[in-house]
Amino acid sequence: MAAPLTLLLLVAVTLRAALFRAGLTDLISGRVEVVSPLTAWKRVVEGLALLDLGVSPYSGDVFHETPLIIYLFHFLVDYAEITFILADVITAVALYLAVKDYNKQVFRKQRYALEADRYPLDCLEIIRSPKEMYYIPLKVAMFYLLNPFTILSCVAMSTCGLNNAVIALFILSTIKGNVLLSAIFLSLATYQSIYPLTLCAPALLYLMQRQYIPVNFRRAGFWWFIAQYAFMYLGSLFVIVGLSFFLLGSWDYLPSVYGFILSVPDLTPNIGLFWYFFAEMFEHFRLFFLCVFQINIFFYTIPLSIKLKEHPVFLIFMQLAVISIFKSYPTVGDIALYMAFLPVWSHLHRFLRNIFLVSCVLLACSALFPVLWHLWIYAGSANSNFYYAITLLFNVAQILLISDYFYAFLRREHHLTYGLYLKRKDGSEATLVLK
Amino acid sequence: MAGMELLSDQGYRLDGRKATELRKVQARMGVFAQADGSAYLEQGNTKALAVVYGPHEMRGSRSRALHDRAVINCQYSMATFSTAERKRRPHGDQKSTEMSLHLKQTFEAAVMTQLYPRSQIDIYVKILQSDGGNYSVCVNAATLAVIDAGIPMRDYVCACSVGFVDETPLADLCYAEESGGLSSLALALLPRSGQIALLQMDARLHQDHLEALIEAAMTACKGSSVPRLQDRVTADDNMGLLSDPNRRRALINLLTRLNSPICMICYMAGVAWFMGLAFEPFTLRTYMSENAMGSTMVEERFPAGERALATGREFAAHKKKTGGMPADWLVRTMQARGLEVFTQSFSRTLPFPDENKERYMVKGTNVYGILRAPRAPRTEALVLSARCSPGDDNNQAVGLLLGLAQYFRGQIYLAKDIIFLVNEHDLIGMQAWLEGYHHTNTTGMDWSPLQGRGGSIQAALSLELSHDLITSLDLVLEGLNGQLPNLDLANLFYAFCQKIGVLCTIQGKLQRNDWDSVSGYSHAVQTMMLMVMKQASGRPWGDHGLFLRYHIEAATIKGINSFRQYKTDATTVGRLLEGMYRKLNNLLERLHQSYFFYLMPSLSHFVSIGYYMPAFGLLAVILLLRALDLWVQLVTPPPRTEDGVIDIEQSNPGVLSVMTPLVISHLTGVALYLLPIRFQELAVEHFPVSETEAVVLTAIAVYTAGLALPHNTHRLLSGEGTEQGWKVLKLVAVLYLAVLLGCTALINFSLGFILALTLVPVAAFVTPHVPKVLSAFVLVILSPACTLLFSVFFFQELQEIPVSFQEGWVLYLSVISQGILDHCLYGSLVYPLIALLVYPCWLLFWNILFWK
């Protein structure tokens, strides 16, 4: 398996290098779908220039990266392209290893269940075979590296790629069962963009599952583990935040980064749901709806964790998707990260209902983004409503996509307990219905 | 005796059913709005109507109320016309009282009455037509009504009657059987628990047979479609389309089964819709949306038409003397009129000689004068331009432009700068000037930077006048890439033409009032089709065409001289322009109120995007339907053949078999895009052709060479293409085409629609299994290049200058060369769109036809 992966990495790196050489960076880095005010490379360059001049990079209203990123590029600015390529490669390899490990566990669990005769007899069709699972990790890496969204994001030098790398490393360390590294990478990811905080729920569930700690609020062991994880998480977060403070010598970055993420002052159009809504909003309702929109992202964690507490990795996928749909400044790079997980759930395909419709809509929307942008900004003949309509459609399609996967996942679990060909009590064939 | 007839030797009953077969069941719920629940049920010919009221408070004597559960009150009745013999049935006859009692017992067992203490539930059942099994039909109908009322039940109640003949139980008796004197039994069952809610038998029966009979009745109840129907009816009530698998499957089945007819209908409807657009009652009257240009009436006073014509003649003389742009004279004249005058020189070498206009290495000068606004802070500007072209062309326009400059100089109301521009080499000069004005350089032209600027340009008009006296003014709207100015600009022109009394045309066609006659309609169609053809070409049809790219609303006003009986002199044209500029001068913001997407069947009527998009939508739907059909074919597992192994291998077409045609056809597209210009020198060296011919002929050669593509693809592919393979390829191609056409239609509706008109049928019918030669012929006829050829002839036909085939062919070649030039010079997107995207997409379908 190493050889195909190496080949894939080579192809991906060559492709990116070629695109960099072709000078497409300028063209792509102006696209609002690919870069957001948070991740734009132009703004990083601006921040570096300010830093070199001895001015706090946060003094203007341009730079919104975290201090660690700016110091990273302070040293690596000449090798920025390589850094971004490397970040993509790291993400892909981390996902590859993580999924490989996860598949092993899934297979082991399935074997135990089979040995214990826990599956109904007619479920053999939906039992997963090693042959089918063999290529999944490679497909995951391929989905990430060759996804046009990732490539665009990388060529535009959007720092979203770095965030994805951190999240991928977090997923890898969690799946490998390394509590400390998991907490450290989670705190790094949180430090970068707040929203990955919700990933602590699946991480905890997964790690506890791995250490055979039952999720029981009355057990001391449960609370002890949470305390441990929280301590490690908060400790490393404290260290990172402190480090940022010492690097810059001021707390300027807190409002400039996190305030910027949470209060959404920049309403440049993007593929998210915030900009149009808040542009149209009366000013005195702004705070209220801001809270509603932001809580919305975190809110899904609780019901999803309860429903999926046996399946933390699927929960990670769901959470990533929810974040990338509802976050304040989404870019296509965020979408690419959760889309990389789609091959992991390839066994759910027979239960998916709207996949054709949804993929057509996603495809059409991706093509229509630049067209409507052109009509709005350059030709002046369309207006923002056209663009927002496509944004809305794009997000609805994404929501349908993940709810479809969610439904398919639950349905497969249901079949694994009750048998594939459900009969009613009166013997007629039954259909499962989602209400 | 009777028993013999009830069941034939072959095991059929009187009405042709088998012994255990039930009658056909149909049901409807919620038939009455005022009742809490209602249902109508047909079981064979027996029809019953059930209505439920409640649970509500006790009516009448409260003493009947039960403290721990609800009272169920049932009333059964038969309509007078329900039986063969018409008879009044007073309430309370013994039979119906008995039946009411049975119903009451049944539903007391089934309804969860303990939930509603001290209340009452009324169930009324009426038999509308009686054909046996009254009791069971009543129970079934009442159950549906109770479900409809939302009253909780332990289970659905289903009832069935069973008779006994020749040791065989007969299920669901009809009237003839009931009256045939056999011993029958009615049974109401709660199917899930198997509990019997009611059992009633009036006749004599041997005890040994009882068990068999009850068994048969229970099977009939369970297996009958009634509970399933009850399930279905309940389900339909609660579910939307997306989450109801049955309904969705039904929809998909319908769409796949009726795919071809629906596609045909959509296509015809799309074309019909489009043709209907030109019909005047379906169009909207133009009206001025922009308030700033609305109602203020001013008098136009431009007096100096004759002097302007004299200036024009002077200009012509100087032009002849210098053999090009008389820049010095223009500078002097403009300065004399009090303008700030600047010049801009530019040069451009075309990628290949333009044989229409006979130019290759272009050098020229633009002269422009700025009249500064006396009344405002000079942040906005308007442009009036006239081109300086060789020969006797357009001299009057330059004269009028200078005349207007002089006139406006004396006016005090101007709030915007007015820029008077005389550009050389028409669009090339305009391109240079606009790029200079906006500090961009998109096409790699050499120009000297502008020395003076006005404010940001709000609107522009280009003037084309070549005669001292004209008969009418023609408005040209189509700009680069089919972009149109805001409709308000056309409205403005139309309004002033009406006011001043100048004959105005669009596409050189006068407006007609007889829309209800055939010739009037065809005139409107002609006008609209001309606009569609011009817009689809993506060329700028006047000097204004390049302004639109910079978000500047612009149009060309062209004097034409073809309607002999009318005469308009230069003074009138000057007054028209004066009026238009005064209105434009009032603008507070850019023109944005009115439409940007429209088609005009006449100058006074327009078709907005909302009206013409459905025509395209109907064509695009065909693609989606075909894609859905293919998808369904691909995901439904193929019927298992005996050697299942081969089947599985076949069902997984390799990525390679789809990728290879995709990549190769796109490479052909790239070749079509790059080679003609790159290889012109080589071609000129080796063949006796001029550069322009070389470019066009190379393009045609590459295009034709692409037709050999399937063979090349097959050589690269190992093994045979599979059935699944071409389906996947076609799915990809169809979706690709749909997205491509959709995007094109948004930017340039006409181009999108014309391409859809020819490519959608191709996409819909092509499979490897259609007759090869005929389909190949059709495919070629409908390919983008042939579409262009037909368009050329059609366009000439519309303009009423029909051409012979020979001339048409020459025209076709020049249109191709113009298209390529437009792309290189001004950045028109039609050529790259066709070469890089549409042609490869068409090649994919070509590939599918020759799939092996």
Q: What is the mean pLDDT of residues B688-714?
A: 82
B238 vs A contacts (CB less than 8 Å)? 435
B243 vs A contacts (CB less than 8 Å)? 433-435
Out of A363, A380, A434, closest to residue B735 by CB: A363
Is A433–B243 a contact, with Cβ atoms under 8 angstroms apart?
yes
Nearest-CA residue of chain A relative to B598? A381
Share of chain B above pLDDT 90, in %: 20
Is B596–A380 a contact, with Cβ atoms under 8 angstroms apart?
yes
Q: Which of residues 710-739 of B touch A (CB under 8 A)?
A: 735, 738-739
Asked if the model's pLDDT at residue B838 lies above 90, the reply is yes
Q: Which of residues 314-373 of A touch B (CB under 8 A)?
A: 353-354, 356, 360, 363-364, 367-368, 371-372
Is B245–A433 a contact, with Cβ atoms under 8 angstroms apart?
yes
Contact B653, B724 (CB under 8 A): yes
Structure tokens given for A87: 């970040």
Asked if the model's pLDDT at residue B649 lies above 50, the reply is no
A367 vs B contacts (CB less than 8 Å)? 739-740, 742-743
Residue B732, CB half-sphere, CA atoms under 13 Å: how many? 20
Amino acid at B579: G
Q: Which H/E stretch holds residue B25? A: strand B25-29
Is the Cα torsion angle B52, B55, B58, B64 positive or negative in sign?
A: positive
Best B225, B596, B623, B651 residue to mutate vs chain A (most A CBs within 10 Å): B596
pLDDT digits (tens, 9 = 90+) for A186-228: 999 999 989 999 999 999 999 998 888 888 888 888 899 999 9
Closest chain A C-alpha to B220 CA, distance in angstroms: 12
pLDDT digits (tens, 9 = 90+) for B156-182: 888 888 888 877 888 888 888 887 777
Contact B248, A353 (CB under 8 A): yes
Q: How many CB pairs under 8 A join A and B?
A: 68
Asked if the model's pLDDT at residue A354 lies above 90, the reply is no
Asked if the model's pLDDT at residue B230 lies above 60, the reply is no
Mean residue pLDDT of chain A comes to 89
Mean residue pLDDT of chain B comes to 84
With CA atoms as reference, report the closest residue to B405 among B340, B328, B474.
Answer: B340
Contact B135, B99 (CB under 8 A): yes
Nearest-CA residue of chain A relative to B744? A371
Q: Which H/E stretch holds residue B685? A: helix B680-686
Closest chain B C-alpha to A52 CA, distance in angstroms: 31
Q: What is the DSSP string of A395-407?
A: HHHHHHHHHHHHH
Number of helices and strands in chain B (H, E)? 28, 21
Best A350, A356, A368 residue to mutate vs chain B (most B CBs within 10 Å): A356
A142 vs B: CB within 8 A: no
Tell me the C-alpha distance between B836 and B702, whole Å. Answer: 13
pLDDT given at position B157:
86
Is A367–B743 a contact, with Cβ atoms under 8 angstroms apart?
yes
pLDDT band at B787 (very low <50, low <70, confident <90, very high): very high
Structure tokens given for B810: 């020459």
* Residue A430 main-chain phi, psi, to 5 deg: -110, 160
Tell me the C-alpha distance between B576 and B555, whole Å. Answer: 14
pLDDT band at B238 (very low <50, low <70, confident <90, very high): very low
Q: Which of residues 532-591 of B touch A (CB under 8 A)?
A: 548-549, 551, 590
With CA atoms as reference, report the closest residue to A340 among A64, A200, A145.
Answer: A145
Nearest-CA residue of chain A relative to B636? A350
Q: What is the mean pLDDT of residues B504-527?
A: 86
pLDDT band at A338 (very low <50, low <70, confident <90, very high): very high
pLDDT given at position B240:
41
Query: Max CA-CA distance within chain A?
Result: 80
Tell me the C-alpha distance between B316 and B308, whole Å. Answer: 12
Structure tokens given for A329: 């400044």
With CA atoms as reference, report the closest residue to A210 among A126, A301, A104.
Answer: A104
Q: What is the mean pLDDT of residues A256-274?
A: 89
Contact B527, B431 (CB under 8 A): no
Asked if the model's pLDDT at residue A425 lies above 80, the reply is no
Compute CA distances A306 → A302, A310, A311, A405, B223, whole Å: 6, 9, 10, 17, 40
pLDDT digits (tens, 9 = 90+) for B300-358: 888 888 888 888 888 888 888 888 888 888 898 899 888 889 999 999 888 888 887 78
A432 vs B contacts (CB less than 8 Å)? 245
A375 vs B contacts (CB less than 8 Å)? 746-747
Closest chain B C-alpha to A203 CA, distance in angstroms: 32
Closest chain A C-alpha to B596 CA, distance in angstroms: 5
Q: Which residue has the higher pLDDT, B563 or B230?
A: B563
Best B236, B483, B732 residue to mutate vs chain A (most A CBs within 10 Å): B483
Local structure of B803: helix, strand or coil: coil
Nearest-CA residue of chain A relative to B628? A356
Residue A65, CB half-sphere, CA atoms under 13 Å: how many? 26
Is B243–A434 a contact, with Cβ atoms under 8 angstroms apart?
yes
Local structure of B295: helix, strand or coil: coil
B192 vs A contacts (CB less than 8 Å)? 425-426
pLDDT given at position A229:
93
pLDDT given at position B711:
64
User: What end-to-end distance do the CA atoms of chain B give, in Å?
Assistant: 70
Contact B603, B504 (CB under 8 A): yes
With CA atoms as reference, report the closest residue to B198 among B122, B98, B114.
Answer: B98
Is A367–B739 a contact, with Cβ atoms under 8 angstroms apart?
yes
pLDDT band at B227 (very low <50, low <70, confident <90, very high): low
Tell me the C-alpha distance between B109 and B113, whole Å. Answer: 9
Question: pTM score, two decimals?
Answer: 0.76
Tell me the C-alpha distance between B685 and B726, whole Å. Answer: 43
pLDDT band at B393 (very low <50, low <70, confident <90, very high): confident
Order of strands, edge to edge, in the sheet holding B417-424?
B446-447, B340-354, B359-371, B417-424, B380-388, B456-464, B553-560, B472-476, B504-506
Q: Which residue has the higher pLDDT, B192 or B140?
A: B140
Closest chain B C-alpha to A357 CA, distance in angstroms: 9
Tell me the C-alpha distance between B172 and B155, whole Å. Answer: 21
Best B247, B631, B737, B837 residue to mutate vs chain A (most A CBs within 10 Å): B631
Out of A378, A428, A433, closest to residue B235 by CB: A433
Best B236, B735, B737, B841 residue to mutate vs chain A (most A CBs within 10 Å): B735
With CA atoms as reference, report the closest residue to A94 among A180, A181, A16, A159.
Answer: A181
pLDDT given at position B650:
43
pLDDT given at position B641:
43
Asked if the model's pLDDT at residue B676 lies above 90, the reply is no
B238 vs A: CB within 8 A: yes
pLDDT band at B151 (very low <50, low <70, confident <90, very high): confident
pLDDT band at B462 (very low <50, low <70, confident <90, very high): very high
B746 vs A contacts (CB less than 8 Å)? 368, 371-372, 375, 382
Pairing of strands B380-388, B456-464: parallel
A427 vs B contacts (CB less than 8 Å)? 222
Contact A140, A96 (CB under 8 A): yes
Is A426–B746 a contact, with Cβ atoms under 8 angstroms apart?
no
- ipTM given for this complex: 0.84
B633 vs A contacts (CB less than 8 Å)? none
Q: Angle CA(B722)–CA(B724)–CA(B729) in degrees, nearest 5?
A: 100
Q: What is the CA radius of gyration of chain A?
A: 23
pLDDT given at position B637:
62
pLDDT band at B476 (very low <50, low <70, confident <90, very high): very high
Best A375, A383, A426, A434 residue to mutate vs chain B (most B CBs within 10 Å): A426
